[in-house]
Amino acid sequence: MSIDKRKISQQFRDRLRLLISREAMSVSAFAQECNLDRSALSQFLNEASIRLPRSETLIAIASSQNVSMDWLLGLSQDETGLGEVSSVFDIEHASPEQGHSLLAQWHTEAAGYKIRYVPSSLPDLLRTRAVVEFEFGEKQSVPADDKNAFAREQLDYNRRPETDMEVVMPFQRMENLAAGRDIWEGLTRGKRQAQIEHMADLIDELYPTFRLFMFDGRKHFISPYTVFGPKRAAVYLGGMYMVINSVDHIRQLTQRFDESIRAATIPADRVSAWLRDLRVT
């Protein structure tokens, strides 16, 4: 599935103009009402631009104007989004048959927007085959081959120039991997060393469109979830996802994620060097 960014940006521009004319406001006044920067709003209205709004911007406009995000992007004729009210929360089972295809679909639909990702273990796209097989080889619900295939898909996705992904996790998780503690007890030293080097290499390759931040897990905690741009968030519950479609709830999860970035003790531009300095025992 591909996304026609030019078409969506034109639809978004048309809807913005409609809202501004309907409110009989100047561009400056409309920007102020939506708590936006006037220059950014002017860029969205520029016919030569194919820039799409960030999730925070889309949420701010939709919330202040009482319209749905789908309508703003031209994906729906339902301006009020009343049809979304009954599905603020959904449960999707992460079975082998559909779990990875769902994630791939959500990533594709979020193309052009920032994805915020809190992994339950290591980020999928940064795992080596050996670590995937160690973590999932005996789990019938998530076959290692499927997990490896998904990791390759995610890596390919993140190599696309239009992607923008931020990840947060505690640095103690990597210290446990280096020491062979916790879930990695029994994984050989060589495979753990290779995993850490693989992560450092990929982080260097993908930066800055992929940014990993690490915080102190003794001082900060955040549950595994992913925010797929402005339209959806998915909280991982182990074998299933709680899918969130509400603008307000997506905004709160986004704010919580950004708080975790601010709490990071190892910023994205230092993570690969920190990993290379880890002593594997």
Rounded Cα gap, residues 226 and 160, in angstroms: 19
Q: What is the pLDDT along the chain (281 residues), one digit of tens a residue?
A: 445 677 788 888 989 998 998 878 888 989 988 888 888 889 889 988 888 788 778 888 888 888 888 788 877 776 665 444 335 677 787 655 555 678 888 888 888 889 999 999 999 999 999 999 998 876 545 566 666 777 788 888 888 888 899 999 999 999 999 999 999 999 999 999 999 999 999 999 999 999 999 999 999 999 999 999 887 999 988 778 889 988 778 888 999 999 999 999 999 999 999 999 999 99
Residues in CB range of 186: below 8 A, 6 or more apart: 134, 180
Query: Within 10 Å of residue 276's Cβ, how many Cβ atoms?
Result: 13
CATH of domain 5-84: 1.10.260.40
Query: Looking at the chain, which residues constitute the CATH 1.10.260.40 domain(s)?
Result: 5-84
Domain over 88-277 is classified CATH 3.30.870.10: yes
Query: Looking at the chain, which residues constitute the CATH 3.30.870.10 domain(s)?
Result: 88-277
pTM for the whole thing?
A: 0.69
